Chain A
Amino acid sequence: MTRRDLLRSMAAAAAISAAEAMFPGILFGAAGSPGTGAAELTPSDGGVTWRKTPCRFCGVGCGLLVGVSNDRAVAVKGDPASPVNRGLCCVKGYHSVMALYGKDRLTRAMVRKDGKLVPVPMKEALDLIASKMAETIKAHGKDAVAMYGSGQWTIPDGYVASKLMKGAIGTNNLEANARLCMASAVTGFMTSFGLDEPMGCYDDIDHADVFVLWGNNMAEMHPVLFSRLLERRLKNPAVKIIDLATRWTRTSMAADRSILFKPQTDLAIANAICHEIIRTDAVHEVFVRDHVSFHEGKTHIGYGLEDKFTFKDEPKTIDLARYRELLADYSVEKVEALSGVPARELRYLASLYADPKKKVMSLWCMGFNQHTRGTWINNLVYNIHLLVGKIATPGNSPFSLTGQPSACGTVREVGTLTQRLPHGDVTEEKARKLAAEIWGVPVERIAAKPTYHTVEMFRAVDRGDIRFLWIQVTNPMVTMPKLRRYRDGLRKDDRFIVVSDVYPTPTTDVADVILPSAFWIEREGMWGNSERRTQHFERMLPPPGEAMSDTWQMIEVARRLGFEKLFPWSEATHIQEIWKEYRRFQAGPEHEMAPYEELRRRPGVMWPFVNGKETKWRYNGQYDPAAKAPFDFYGKSDHRAWIWFRPYEAPPEVPDAQYPFWLNTGRVLEHWHTGSLTRRIPVLHQAVPAAYVEVHPNDARRLNIVNGGRVRLTSRRGTLILPAQIDGRARPPEGQVFVPFFDESYLINELTLDAFCPISGQPDYKKCAVRLERA
């Protein structure tokens, strides 16, 4: 080494260390020091391997490339090969890998001893869980143990949970948080088409001329798809985006037209559009004659506010004439009075759907699904598309968006809900037989009767009907409506609560055992997004400490319970083995899943995947190998799509003199659900550090509330003081307030109501009555 080289490398080292001291967290030295031959050949992005995965967050399912270097994730790119996002992400996706490195990651198992959580070896915790489970089953029966999972579960997580609870133990006490977000979408699909999940796909965006967003703040909740809408409009200025909502949001700002309606009146608006389509003779007569049948069900169906509430619909087949009669109450003039939407706007909406030259895509998510008539409003939007025959063709697409990365892939497809099996319902003998055969268990073991959906499950814990509850990948002590009752229930003395998570949360606070989980790309798995796309990710990083994948945690406990034979897989290949076994359930042209090797190779594959081909449009003979005619709605025995007459019915709690404001809750772009991940990502936390209540400026003036000032919100169930936001990102109409739920310091669900859709069991987080005071 010459003196010059020495001085040069010393200077470089000094500069690097000074830079590192100034900017902690940046490895300036990592790319190699300049001047050495090897470093000159190092790729300038630091020598990083890029590996594919779906994004950790929402149901859009963007393809990411995660930069991995020396067992650490160091960067993210949008995957240009993914047809979902084509290289673009949102701010959550770009910073998603930072959620791996929060300083308070759970790395050891904890067990509550004398009221305090103390660290124990993983083995001890798993032994304790298995013995408690066995003990509870022996003392109180198998319906006294339950599992509550997640739409962020991987497909293997959900599959093992279903096999353990339904196949091995023999109880239907298996639910997932997707009940709180997607259940009404499922019952909507089942009642209208007999099969779950959309007929179309994201490619519809590239064909549609009109986008109608129903109660869906897409700019914040599905930002990458919303960018695809904006791109479509930029290239085709005739394209229109209509925002139909109860609150003025960032989406309204970008839309061509923003239409505000009164909460719950979406039911009447959809009926008014159908009324107008029929009145103007815009019905697609051939399509309706050949592919549609008409039905009505029970009305005044209740709200599930009382324990052990049950409901069973009684469908009646009707004809178009009777349907037209039932719609008579929904003329645009009458609906204007109810909804606050001017009749001309309703006519305009109907004309967009009716225009034979326009392809229309309807998009919705929580505004429809978190609704005490969630199933109905899902049915109603299908009615519109069916009447004009705008369905299952490119660009004509009623599209139910999902919130979680695998609400579809895991909860809906694997069926981690009390009434479901990996294929079919527990009430169907055929479905039980198929499960018994694939699982190798006696068919009698699989219980034929559903037990509790989520709200009822937490009520059962409170009552003591359930004594053991294992919660994975979800944070119900922030998200349950009417939270106080359910928190008090879980805290009761003889309830045993197990929580698997990656960070401490209000739910781990009430746990008797905490299991540290391997997070996302620290294990192998698959998710399924909103457009029937299954996406595989490999294990890229070692999990910290004793953290273990949720799948393997369940397998360890199952083996301790004596079910080794049902879970024989090795740790190295279990994901592949599980996928192979699970695929057998979905065999056939209606739901064929891609083989494992295909999933590893590609950034997601859509099902039905038949003869090496994805099915982009179901029920359409041109694209769908299961369809026997140009249009074949084969999910129903009459091979028709069902139009349901569903009336407007008021919500259970409406503002009155004592509680004069509507309370709406939801998300913000920067935070994912309860914030347990995104609040540990500094840039996201800094952008939106705390929850707030959005108030209309006129209401604020009247109540003497200033921006940032403290406001007390009170409902019949609880009270909360939080800062006001006036004309911030969004503006609720007068008489309404909005609070995001990501902040565990402001538990807005202490105020919400646990009323749910009687058909789906999904609660309504968007409507309850509150009082507002300056605090």
Chain B
Amino acid sequence: MDRSRYFLIGLAVLLMAALVAVVGQSLTAGREPARVMPVVAAPTPTLPTEAGMYARASRAAEYASMPTEPNRRRTLAVYYARRAYPGAPPAIPHPVDEREAFGKACLSCHGSGGWAPRFEAYAPVTPHPEMMSCRQCHVPLTPGGEGRARGPEAVRGSVSDWQTFAPPRLHGSAMPGSPPPIPHALQMRENCRACHAGPGAVSGLRTTHPERVTCRQCHALAAPPAEAFARAPERASR
């Protein structure tokens, strides 16, 4: 037997041990009471606006024909790590000029996306380009415009006991194969294509069919759940 075989056997043993450890830990972790228990959501009376429904629809065909370029840095995990909770305004991971706080400067990349050679990445697109005071909600993780972005602890922090809920995920189709409902609130995110289509979209969030432009024709809003429809009793008694 040559040495590479010993190495391979050793590696296999190590991997199996690691598997046992991870699975064991996850099983016990699974038995621990959840730290945040789901409670019934209160219905919000407002429906999302239709603004932005068709934004970037003219590019739908291009998006459909684009090869799915794997994201180099901006994975789904990174996407959520830049937000204090799902739905929070993401922090800015790249150096910014302190004197460029309004629409134009930011929108030159984040308005319609495209390749940004400076960062070797496709720029993510904002779902609300009509809001011009960008730095009102988005703050840099690179103060003074120096250095590289900091890790997730910069957003969620080690000096804080902050906890939040899990990122939304697709589930809850009414029947097998039927279109899944939209699993997140649409406030300021009425433009689906901003995050779900195009090369700047995180690969885990991309739709398989960007060429279909009326997203909400098939995908209904899932959250928050409305109370089941019932006729008012006094009407029935009349």
Q: Given A13-B29, A22-B77, A27-B34, A250 and B135 touching (CB < 8 A)?
A: yes
A39 to B165, CA, bound (A): 14
Which of the 9-residue segments B3-11, B115-123, B193-201, B222-230 touches chain A? B222-230
Contact A17–B29 (Cβ < 8 Å):
yes
B35 is an interface residue with CB less than 8 A from chain A: yes
| Shortest distance from the beta carbon of B92 to any chain A beta carbon, whole Å | 9
0 or 1 for each of B83-100: is its CB under 8 Å from A? (1 = yes): 011111101000000110
Which of the 9-residue segments B60-68, B106-114, B150-158, B204-212 touches chain A? B150-158
Contact A28–B29 (Cβ < 8 Å):
no
Closest to A692 in B: B144
B232 is an interface residue with CB less than 8 A from chain A: no
A43 to B44, CA, bound (A): 13
Which residues in chain B, 12-39, are within 8 Å of chain A measured between CB atoms?
Answer: 22-23, 25-27, 29-30, 34-39
| Complex contacts, A17 vs chain B, CB 8 Å | 22, 25-26, 29-30
A78 to B44, CA, bound (A): 12
Picked from B80, B99, B136, B159, the residue with its CB within 8 Å of the CB of A26 is B80
| Complex contacts, A26 vs chain B, CB 8 Å | 80, 156, 163-164, 166-167
B141 is an interface residue with CB less than 8 A from chain A: yes
Which residues in chain A, 503-554, are within 8 Å of chain B measured between CB atoms?
Answer: none
Picked from A68, A89, A727, the residue with its CB within 8 Å of the CB of B99 is A727
B46 is an interface residue with CB less than 8 A from chain A: yes
Picked from B40, B166, B225, the residue with its CB within 8 Å of the CB of A28 is B166
| Shortest distance from the beta carbon of B162 to any chain A beta carbon, whole Å | 5
Which of the 9-residue segments A97-105, A613-621, A654-662 touches chain B? A97-105
Number of interface residues of A (CB under 8 A): 88
Which residues in chain B, 149-193, are within 8 Å of chain A measured between CB atoms?
Answer: 150, 152-169, 171-172, 183-185, 187-188
Contact A74–B140 (Cβ < 8 Å):
no
Give the contact-size bracket for chain B. 35 or more
Contact A43–B91 (Cβ < 8 Å):
no
Contact B132–A50 (Cβ < 8 Å):
no
| Complex contacts, A16 vs chain B, CB 8 Å | 26, 29-30
Closest to B35 in A: A27
Closest to A93 in B: B137
Contact B163–A31 (Cβ < 8 Å):
no
Contact A49–B42 (Cβ < 8 Å):
yes
Contact B161–A103 (Cβ < 8 Å):
yes
| Shortest distance from the beta carbon of A9 to any chain B beta carbon, whole Å | 8
Q: Tell me the total A-B contact number using a CB cutoff of 8 A.
A: 275
Question: Residue among B34, B37, B44, B163 with the most chain A CB within 10 A?
Answer: B163
A573 is an interface residue with CB less than 8 A from chain B: no
| Complex contacts, A22 vs chain B, CB 8 Å | 77
A150 to B99, CA, bound (A): 34
| Shortest distance from the beta carbon of A42 to any chain B beta carbon, whole Å | 5
Q: Given A27-B34, A44-B172, A250-B135, A87 and B187 touching (CB < 8 A)?
A: yes
| Complex contacts, A712 vs chain B, CB 8 Å | none
| Complex contacts, B215 vs chain A, CB 8 Å | none
A51 to B44, CA, bound (A): 10
| Shortest distance from the beta carbon of A742 to any chain B beta carbon, whole Å | 13
A67 to B41, CA, bound (A): 9
| Shortest distance from the beta carbon of A32 to any chain B beta carbon, whole Å | 7
| Shortest distance from the beta carbon of A229 to any chain B beta carbon, whole Å | 9
0 or 1 for each of A9-31: is its CB under 8 Å from B? (1 = yes): 11001101111101111111111
Q: Given A24-B156, A45-B185, A90 and B136 touching (CB < 8 A)?
A: yes
Closest to A725 in B: B144
A728 to B143, CA, bound (A): 10
Which residues in chain A, 702-728, are within 8 Å of chain B measured between CB atoms?
Answer: 708, 725, 727-728
Contact A74–B35 (Cβ < 8 Å):
no
A51 to B101, CA, bound (A): 31
Contact A32–B38 (Cβ < 8 Å):
yes
| Shortest distance from the beta carbon of B149 to any chain A beta carbon, whole Å | 10
| Complex contacts, A572 vs chain B, CB 8 Å | none
Contact A254–B133 (Cβ < 8 Å):
yes
A685 to B158, CA, bound (A): 12
Contact B222–A74 (Cβ < 8 Å):
no
| Shortest distance from the beta carbon of A358 to any chain B beta carbon, whole Å | 23
Which residues in chain A, 215-239, are within 8 Å of chain B measured between CB atoms?
Answer: 219, 223-224, 226-227, 230-231, 234
A499 is an interface residue with CB less than 8 A from chain B: no
Q: Given A43-B223, A87-B188, A254-B133, A682 and B171 touching (CB < 8 A)?
A: no
Question: Residue among A9, A17, A51 with the most chain B CB within 10 A?
Answer: A17
| Complex contacts, A76 vs chain B, CB 8 Å | 85, 88
Q: Given A77-B185, A227-B131, A682-B155, A91 and B139 touching (CB < 8 A)?
A: yes
Contact B171–A40 (Cβ < 8 Å):
yes
A70 is an interface residue with CB less than 8 A from chain B: yes
A65 to B162, CA, bound (A): 17
Q: Given A13-B27, A689-B143, A25 and B91 touching (CB < 8 A)?
A: no
A40 to B173, CA, bound (A): 9
Contact B42–A51 (Cβ < 8 Å):
yes
Contact A27–B160 (Cβ < 8 Å):
no
| Shortest distance from the beta carbon of B193 to any chain A beta carbon, whole Å | 20
| Complex contacts, B77 vs chain A, CB 8 Å | 19, 22-23
With A46-B166, A87-B188 given, name 19 new contacts (CB 8 A): A25-B156, A25-B160, A29-B29, A30-B34, A30-B165, A40-B172, A44-B171, A44-B184, A51-B42, A69-B165, A76-B88, A80-B187, A219-B136, A227-B131, A234-B130, A253-B102, A686-B91, A686-B154, A688-B143
Q: Which 7 A-B pairs have the closest CB atoms?
A: A47-B38, A46-B165, A682-B157, A44-B183, A687-B139, A13-B26, A223-B136
Between A and B, 23 residue pairs with Cβ closer than 8 Å are A23-B80, A27-B35, A29-B30, A30-B37, A32-B38, A44-B171, A45-B184, A48-B41, A72-B35, A75-B164, A98-B162, A226-B136, A227-B133, A250-B135, A253-B102, A254-B102, A254-B133, A670-B139, A682-B156, A683-B154, A684-B139, A687-B91, A687-B141
- Chain A: residues with CB nearer than 8 A to chain B? 9-10, 13-14, 16-20, 22-34, 39-51, 65, 67-70, 72, 74-78, 80-81, 87-91, 94-95, 98, 101-104, 219, 223-224, 226-227, 230-231, 234, 250, 253-254, 669-670, 680-689, 708, 725, 727-729
